[in-house]
Structure 1
């Protein structure tokens, strides 16, 4: 799986975090549970906390839920949630997009 990344603002400076080299299949299972149990378009506060906690775990707990909330712009938070869940649920999608880009060059 290609590394995922997120850039958070901390103490006025940007810091980029990368996903670990190994992400277990259990993370995919949990992403499936989240997708099944929650309407990701209309999350309540507790559900949002659960999803962000999951994303922190995907990134090896390199940052906390509060660091995500405080370090991402509103639009970026939505994109981070959507893109990370899609990358976990459909890891081949990312490789297919990269291969298509390589063929265009």
Structure 2
């Protein structure tokens, strides 16, 4: 994965890392986000995570889009608003908070 990141940085490509299954990790293993591999990868990537897959709340249509770069975040915000997909389901917010704060038993 590191090699792919280096090629993308060299060629001016922002990596969009779809990590919506990140909570599903076998016992004894850890999840390593792409953006955590280096400072360069952090600044040249967008990470998408969602509790939808692991916690079976896909119908609530909730996702987190994360970028450390302010310019990239501004582009994401503009795109979300232009395409009118910025209104979040209030049940999705509550379900996301519950899954991130009270998830261990469910994942077991």
Bigger RCO (CA 8 Å, 6+ sep): 1
* TM above 0.5: no
TM-score, normalization by structure 2: 0.26
Q: Identify the structure with the greater helix proportion.
A: 1
Between structure 1 and structure 2, the one with the greater Rg is: 2
